[in-house]
Amino acid sequence: MGALAEKMGIEFTEFSIERSVATMPVEGNTQPVGLVHGGAYVVLGESLGSMAANLHAGPGKLAVGVDINATHTRSATSGTVTGVCTPIHLGRSITVHEIVVSDDQGRRCSTIRITNMIKDAPA
C-alpha cells in the first residue's frame, strides 16, 4: 500500500479491477481549522486509482500516474471518509478511474479522476 497511505490510516476494504474501496480517518488528516485536507482526499484517491490500475495492468507491467484532478464539494470534520474507485477506461496503455469520497452520512465530499499510463515494469 505504501508508507504515506499507512501513515494516513488508509485501509482497503474491497479490491478488484471493477471496484476498490478504502477508508481513511478524518482525525490526523485535517487542516488547522479541522476540515479534511484536500490533499488527503487526493492521497486516498491516488492510492485507490493507482492500485486498481496496477491490478488491471497485470504481471510484468507497471501503472504510473500521469494526471490527477479533484473537486472538493464538502469537508468531513469527524469519523471516517470512504473512497469508492471505479474504472472509466481500462486500456492496454492507459487507465482512467473515478474515485468518489463520501463521509459517514454518505454525502459526497470529493470527486477525483486519475489517469495512469501502463508500461513495462523495470527489470
Note down pLDDT in tens along the chain; length 123 residues: 689 999 999 999 999 999 999 999 999 999 999 999 999 999 999 999 999 999 999 999 999 999 999 999 999 999 999 999 999 999 999 999 999 999 999 999 999 999 999 999 998
pTM, 2 dp: 0.95
Considering 6, 11, 27, 46, which one is annotated as catalytic? 46
Written in H, E and C, the secondary structure of the chain is CCHHHHHCCCEEEEECCCCEEEEEECCCCECCCCCECHHHHHHHHHHHHHHHHHHHHCCCEEEEEEEEEEEECCCCCCCEEEEEEEEEEECCCEEEEEEEEECCCCCEEEEEEEEEEEEECCC
11 is an active site residue? no
Fold of 3-120: Thiol Ester Dehydrase; Chain A (3.10.129)
